[in-house]
Structure 1
Amino acid sequence: MNIAIIGGAGFIGSHVTQNFLAAGHRVRVSATRPEDTVRYAHLNQLPGASDRLELVQLDLLKADNLPDFLYEQEVVIHAGTPFQLAFEDPVGELLDPTITGTKNLLDAVAQNPTVKQLVVVASVAAHNTHFPLDIPGREGQVVSETDTPHFSDQDHPYAQGKFLADQEVRKFVDTYKGDCAVVSVSPVGVMGKSLSKREDSTSMGMQHLIRNKIAPDEFFQMLYDQDATFAVVDVKDVASAICSAATTPGLHGRHFLLSSESYPVSDLSLMLNGKAPVGRPRTVYDAGASESVLGIDYKPAIHFLG
């Protein structure tokens, strides 16, 4: 198939690109600077990349970019929203790229008859903007896809953007009359090994901070002070779930939580340093639907954090 991956060079997206190339598909990956060979070197080194990988410049905020990017693509993966914790302009850096970019993509897909499956990589924040902390008033409860989502405008703008973009996807699903199946997946804290050696990865940066118990801001200091419970999932399992959601029929309108185990931050730090956790894991986010429908067998945290 022809598969377009927005954000296909990122932490999660790179593993998705690798999986689809390994399966023999033709993969088109969005690139902010395709001429930057160092930035995309890890993709060009993947088996199958030489004849089945294409890097195409794309800016989701420019709606007129999308028809050419989607041309002749059968499957589209949207994993291209910004992930950053530090910011100066929450609207310009996080909210607008995430919400408007998603709306632009949905509009373009609705006008493109070749796209038959769209997978939107949302976030656990689409279900709980207070993540990694429990939903206020529902502490200790297990969260599933069918529960009422929690939103607060006091939570991090990244989480707010993910929640509001997911609401746009839900509205689109309710009114869309075309042939494209729209599926959402919502991973919790994604950790594991990166395919890239880039030093600006927020996901790898978070693992570094937790491994070394570094608190660059009040948020991280709060996590350590409270020894907060943090739900995590292996990036390889997330990529497998995305690929399954992209190739499984009959999933239009479905939302899937992707989660392995939840541990106190102190135990995550131990495992990131190759040591055994002191406590036992909790289940905070119910990933049963993704296990049964998408066929994911989630690895225990100790297997991908060491």
Structure 2
Amino acid sequence: MANKIIIGLVKWGKKSPKVDKYQPPDIYKGHWSFGYRETKQTKGVRQQHTNRDSRTMANSGEGKVVCVTGASGYIASWLVKFLLSRGYTVKASVRDPSDPKKTQHLVSLDGAKERLHLFKADLLVEGSFDSAIDGCEGVFHTASPFYHDVKDPQVELIDPAVKGTLNVLNSCAKASSVKRVVVTSSMAAVTLNGKPRTPDVTVDETWFSDPQLCEASKMWYVLSKTLAEDAAWKLAKEKGLEIVTINPAMVIGPLLQPTLNTSAAAILNLINGAKTFPNSSFGWVNVKDVANAHIQAFEVPSANGRYCMVESVAHYSELVNILHELYPNVPLPERCVDENPYVPTYQVSKEKIKSLGIDYISLKVSIKETVESLKEKGFAHV
């Protein structure tokens, strides 16, 4: 049934316009519009990346104040860490500053005592980000829920993503100090448009997900990120805000926060006794690269438009093979969940992200870092 719906939408859906990958257009139309009120070798490679991370942490942020929304999240926690390492003063918004599960790992970071300030803010409350954003040169809007199993997509995913983005950007528009806003979008807002994704296809920043196709496919998280990014570009144009979006795929790598996030759980499931692996292919990228890209998108004057972030696209079977190589004694799923042909992989352009100086950490190292972090946090016992 789902295939019939998708095929039908592709037939009558409007073709994507010709667009400039560096300046996303106002393309989304229809009833989803929202008003604006709304091994040793591996170890060596990993050490190389650790050293690289340290080298990039120059004191370029001394004397500058920035805001990070949703600061307790997976990407945001690394973003706060790197910003503090660069000398920035960080105003970090969280839903509950008194909850140690949300804040302890942040206040324990180097530089936090001197330059980290926590603010309470709610995505759905208009004006609640005003105090956190006031006086900031840069704003990093990372806050957005990521759940697979939802009972009410509108309430649980779409409203927080879209209204939250509008509320944050409206607060930015009030603050004359804000020079640039970096919005955490997703490859989810890029790839679901009915076009085939096969090994000979290269996805780039000119691709936009189709909201109607997302809705018909009941891909609610994809819809939420698609609508949120669209809302961001529209409001930025209306308010004269300078924004950049970072569009990462499945983000893995070490965890700073004490809670298990959805993308790390995808790796955990494979080493935690699963009998089968999903018949799915996703783009994968390391959380440290994503956090660094956010900072570069703020600091590099020429940064603009959208940036796809995918180190490689891999089927779950490839992840299992890498895990077997890294952890040969760990029981891993030996068969796919179904007998259908494997969902094909595809290419994602790295041309634009290279302009921000991002040199991707490999998938193998990212998987290794994820598992070791899951062990350290007590989620995995391998």
- When normalised by structure 2's length, the TM-score is 0.70
1:94-105 residue pairs with structure 2 within 5 A? 94-105=157-168
Query: Aligned partners of 2:75 and 2:252: how far apart in 1?
Result: 9
Aligned to 2:79: 16
Does 2:244 correspond to 1:183? yes
Aligned to 2:306: 255
8 Å Cα contact 2:247/2:306 also seen in 1 = yes
Give 1:148 deviation, angstroms: 4.6
Give 1:251 deviation, angstroms: 2.9
Code of the residue aligned with 2:226 in structure 1: it is F
Query: Aligned partners of 2:363 and 2:207: how far apart in 1?
Result: 25
Give 1:212 deviation, angstroms: 4.0
What stretches of structure 1 move > 4 A for 4+ residues in a row? Answer: none
1:1-306 residue pairs with structure 2 within 5 A? 1-129=64-192, 135-140=194-199, 141-151=201-211, 152=213, 153=215, 154-177=217-240, 180-199=241-260, 201-212=261-272, 214=274, 224=278, 226=279, 228-252=280-304, 254-272=305-323, 274=326, 284-291=347-354, 293-306=355-368
Code of the residue aligned with 2:202 in structure 1: it is V
8 Å Cα contact 2:69/2:142 also seen in 1 = yes
Structure 2 SS opposite 1:65: coil
Q: 1:256 to 1:129 in 2, by over 3 A?
A: same
Q: CA-to-partner distance for each residue in 1:202-260, whole Å, 9 max, x for gaps?
A: 22222212344748xxxxx7x62x3x3221000011011011112111334x1000110
Query: Aligned partners of 2:264 and 2:303: how far apart in 1?
Result: 31
8 Å Cα contact 2:105/2:256 also seen in 1 = yes
Query: Aligned partners of 1:128 and 1:213: how far apart in 2?
Result: 31
Query: Aligned partners of 1:174 and 1:51: how far apart in 2?
Result: 36
Give 1:284 deviation, angstroms: 2.2
8 Å Cα contact 1:210/1:265 also seen in 2 = no
Q: CA-to-partner distance for each residue in 1:78-121, whole Å, 9 max, x for gaps?
A: 11001111211111110000011111122221222111110000
Code of the residue aligned with 2:263 in structure 1: it is S
Query: Aligned partners of 1:289 and 1:270: how far apart in 2?
Result: 30
Query: Aligned partners of 1:230 and 1:213: how far apart in 2?
Result: 21
8 Å Cα contact 1:213/1:269 also seen in 2 = no
Q: 1:288 to 1:275 in 2, by over 3 A?
A: farther
Q: CA-to-partner distance for each residue in 1:273-302, whole Å, 9 max, x for gaps?
A: 5259xxxx96522122011x2110011101
Query: Aligned partners of 1:183 and 1:6: how far apart in 2?
Result: 15
Q: 1:89 to 1:72 in 2, by over 3 A?
A: same
Q: 1:209 to 1:129 in 2, by over 3 A?
A: farther
8 Å Cα contact 1:60/1:104 also seen in 2 = yes
Give 1:164 deviation, angstroms: 0.6
8 Å Cα contact 1:6/1:77 also seen in 2 = yes
Query: Aligned partners of 1:147 and 1:92: how far apart in 2?
Result: 27
Code of the residue aligned with 2:91 in structure 1: it is R
8 Å Cα contact 1:207/1:272 also seen in 2 = no
Code of the residue aligned with 2:362 in structure 1: it is P
Provide structure 1 residue ranges, at least 5 long, that are not aligned to the other structure. 216-220
Provide structure 2 residue ranges, at least 5 long, that are not aligned to the other structure. 1-63, 329-343, 369-382
| Aligned-residue CA RMSD (Å) | 2.2
Matched-pair identity in %: 28
Q: CA-to-partner distance for each residue in 1:138-171, whole Å, 9 max, x for gaps?
A: 4331100023544411242111000011111222
Q: 1:52 to 1:148 in 2, by over 3 A?
A: closer
Number of aligned positions between the proteins: 285
Query: Aligned partners of 2:225 and 2:310: how far apart in 1?
Result: 17
